[in-house]
Amino acid sequence: MFSSYDELNHGLVSARREFDAILLASHESSSMNTLKSYAAAGALALAALAPGAASAAGVEILNEGFDNVASLPGWTLVNNSVPPGTNWFQGNAGIFGAQSGAPDAYAAANYLGAANGQGVVDNWLITPLLTLSGLTSFSFYTAHEATPGFSDFLEVRWAGGSGGGPTAFNTLLATFGGVGSPYPTDWTAWSSNLNFQGEGRFAFRYVGSADSLNYVGLDTVRIVTAVPEPSLYAMLALGLGALTSMRRRQAD
């Protein structure tokens, strides 16, 4: 497992240099040595594309600190509450401060998601459309105001594809709050890995009877997706393709 991008890059450069040296040596060796050289080249490429390398060679595709909830680029706010009230809004530093940044730099939702705090809250905060390239890390912080007699509830969901409506989010990744699962009162980090290639979105759903809910906060949503270097695939194809060709020649 690579501990840093610098170590990963150093490993890739070393792999390329060794690969070039193997090819040069193969011109001066017997057929059997050439066969072994190509096999080594293929092994090097495979090692570079191991899961550890893929997860280390990631690119950050989203890092949202909610400095301005009213103008989040690409995000979608959907209030399916009955009757609908207030969408997700800018955090209230008077209730509690943000996990990072300015005191009010977080997204918040409360019982007023249903008009006048009466009815059923079903309030969605949906990320922009994202393109994932394999192993992806998804993380954020959440907290709530603990008030006796109230129990907040938050769902974290995923939907593959370009659809952005709430009905598309059939995959439940996590829940916070509810019976037997107290909602954290201090900012608490949550993270998970998702192995997916293609487009999709994550969503936060604040839901429940308005008379049972209180106030939750969401901060520092970060998504990093793995991006293997395309040239490594070429190295792998060359090494393993040549290995197959040499085996056929020896069989003849």
Position 227 scores a pLDDT of 79
pTM above 0.75, yes or no: no
Residue carrying structure tokens 């991008």 = 5
How big is the chain by its Cα radius of gyration, in Å? 25
Name the strand (E) or helix (H) holding 159.
strand 153-160
DSSP designation for 183: P
Position 52 scores a pLDDT of 42
Position 128 scores a pLDDT of 98
Tens digits of per-residue pLDDT, 47-105? Answer: 334 444 444 459 999 999 999 999 999 999 999 999 999 999 999 999 999 999 999 99
Position 238 scores a pLDDT of 52
Position 241 scores a pLDDT of 52
Structure tokens at 46: 């495979």
Position 229 scores a pLDDT of 53
Query: Are 109 and 88 in contact, with CB atoms under 8 Å apart?
Result: yes
Ranges under pLDDT 50 in the chain:
1-13, 15-56, 231-237, 239-240, 242-248, 250
Position 56 scores a pLDDT of 44
The Cβ-side half-sphere exposure at 2, using a 13 Å CA radius, reads 21
Position 3 scores a pLDDT of 41
Position 230 scores a pLDDT of 62
